[in-house]
Amino acid sequence: MRTSQQKKQMPYPQDDGPVGLIYGLADSSLILAQRLSELTGHGPSLEVDMGLTNIALDLFGQVRLYYQYAAELLADGRTEDDLAFLRTEREFRSVLLAEQPNTDFAYTLTRQFLYDHFHFLMLKELQRSKDNTLAGIATKGIKEVAYHKVYTSDWIERLGDGTEESHRRVQKAVLDLWPYTQELFYKTEADKKMIEQGIGVDFERLKAPYYKAVTTVLKQARLKVPEVAYFQKGGKEGVHTEHMGHLLATMQYMQRTYPGMEW
Amino acid sequence: MSQEEQSLKNEWPLWEVFVRSKNGLEHRHFGSLHAVDAEMALQHARDVYTRRMEGVSIWVVESKQITASDPAQQTAYFEPAQDKIYRHPTFYELPEGVKNM
C-alpha cells in the first residue's frame, strides 16, 4: 500500500540509466533558458534583449534534441513536451545555479557566464561519447555555446572593468553565485553508470580547466575570485531552492491548466 | 541638466551595420544599432541582423564617422543630372552576339 502511494507521488521515478543522464545534461539548460526568456522584452536595450533571447532560444533548441532522444528511449508514449511540462520539481536534475533569479543585469550575466564555461567544456567531452546521438547533439550545440561563452565573458569584463557601480554589482553577483559552481561537477548514479559505459561525461575532469578559464576572465575584469568553504548542491538530486517551484509554475502553467493543449 | 538631456548623454553611440550576404557580393547597409564600442557593435549586429543566416561578414562604423549630403542641397546636387540621359550608355547599338547586357 505504502509503495503504491509513493509511486503515485512520483509517477516518473529517478532514472539511473541513459534517460537520467540526459536529464542531467539537459535540464539545467532548460531551466536557465526559461530564466532568460523571462527577460525577453525587458532587456536594457533592444540589442542586449535580442542577444540574451538568442541564447535562450539556442538552449531551448538543444534541450529539444535531448528530450526527443529521451522520449525515444523511454518509449512509453511520452513526448519531449511531457518531459518539460509535466515533470515535477523533484524530477528535474538541473543545477541550483540555473534556477537563481534575474536579480539584476549583473546576476543574469554572471549566472550565464558561470554556466557557459561549464557547458562548453561538457559538450567538448560529450562529442566523444560512445552514444552517437548524444555526440551529435554535442557537436551541433558546441558552436552556439562557443559564442555564448564569448558574449558573457565580454560582458563580465565590461562590467567588472566598467564604472564603480557596475564593478560593485558584478562583484556581488560573483560572490553570491560562486557557491553554486561546484555542483556543476556533481555526478549522479546515472552519470557514474554512463561514464563506465563510455557514454556519460566525467564532470570531475572538467573542474580544473573550468576554474582556470573562469578565473582568468574574472582577473581580467579586475574582480576578486571568491574563496568559499561551503558549496551548495542538491539540484542534480532533485532537491531545489525555493525559486524552482515558482519558475516551474510559470513554465508549466499552460500544460497543467489545459492538459494536452497544442498550438 | 534635464532628464531628457541626461538620458541622451547616457545613451550608447549609434553604429551603422553593413552585412555581406554571401561571398562575392558586396556589403550592404542593413540598419543601425547602439553599442559602446566596435567590438560590442559587431556582437550586437550578429545578434540583431544575422540570426536568420543573412550574412557571412559584418562591417560596423560609428554613425558620426559618416558624412552625409545635405538634404537642403538636394536640388543643386542631383537635379542637374536629370536632363542628361545621354550619360546612360543606352544609345549604342550592341553588336550581334553580345549577351547578358
A107 domain residue, yes or no:
yes
Inter-chain CB proximity A45 and B36 less than 8 Å: no
Distance in angstroms (rounded) separating the CA atoms of residues A106 and B88: 58
> Is the per-residue pLDDT at A14 higher than 70?
no
User: Residues A29-48: pLDDT tens digits?
Assistant: 999 999 999 999 998 899 99
Q: State the DSSP string of A84-140.
A: HHS--GGG----HHHH----SHHHHHHHHHHHHHHHHHHHHHHTT-SSHHHHHHHHH
Inter-chain CB proximity A50 and B47 less than 8 Å: yes
What would the mean pLDDT of A39-64 be, rounded to a whole number? 95
Distance in angstroms (rounded) separating the CA atoms of residues B29 and B15: 11
Q: What is the pTM of this model?
A: 0.88
A235 domain residue, yes or no:
yes
Mean of all residue pLDDT scores within chain A: 93
Inter-chain CB proximity B48 and A46 less than 8 Å: yes
What's A62's domain CATH number? 1.20.1260.10
A102 domain residue, yes or no:
yes
In which order are the strands placed within the sheet that holds B57-62? B27-34, B14-20, B57-62
Closest CA to A148 of A101, A112, A184, A105: A112
Q: Based on the structure, what is the number of domains in chain A?
A: 1
> Is the per-residue pLDDT at B97 higher than 90?
no
- At B92 the pLDDT is 78
Q: Give, as one character, the DSSP assignment of residue B62.
A: E
Is A166 an interface residue toward B (CB < 8 Å)?
no
Enclosing domain of residue A248: 15-257
Is A151 an interface residue toward B (CB < 8 Å)?
yes
Cβ(B43)–Cβ(A51) below 8 Å: yes
A5 domain residue, yes or no:
no
Q: Would you state the cell numbers that stand for residue B53, as one nine-digit string?
A: 543566416
Under 8 Å CB pairs connecting chains A and B tally to: 28
Q: Would you state the cell numbers that stand for residue A90, as one nine-digit string?
A: 523533484
What would the mean pLDDT of A16-26 be, rounded to a whole number? 94
A209 domain residue, yes or no:
yes
User: Residues A70-101: pLDDT tens digits?
Assistant: 999 999 999 999 999 999 999 999 999 999 99
Question: Angle formed by the axes of helices A105-126 and A164-177, to 10°?
Answer: 50
A8 domain residue, yes or no:
no
- At A85 the pLDDT is 96
Closest CA to A121 of A138, A102, A105, A98: A138
Beta bridge partners of B34: B14
User: Residues A118-140: pLDDT tens digits?
Assistant: 999 999 999 999 999 999 999 99
- The H or E element that residue B16 is part of is strand B14-20
In order of their start, the domains of chain B are: 3-68 (3.10.20.520)
Task: List the single best residue of A47, A147, A163 to mutate versus B (max B Cβ within 10 A).
Answer: A47
A94 domain residue, yes or no:
yes
Q: Which residues of A touch B12 (CB under 8 A)?
A: 45
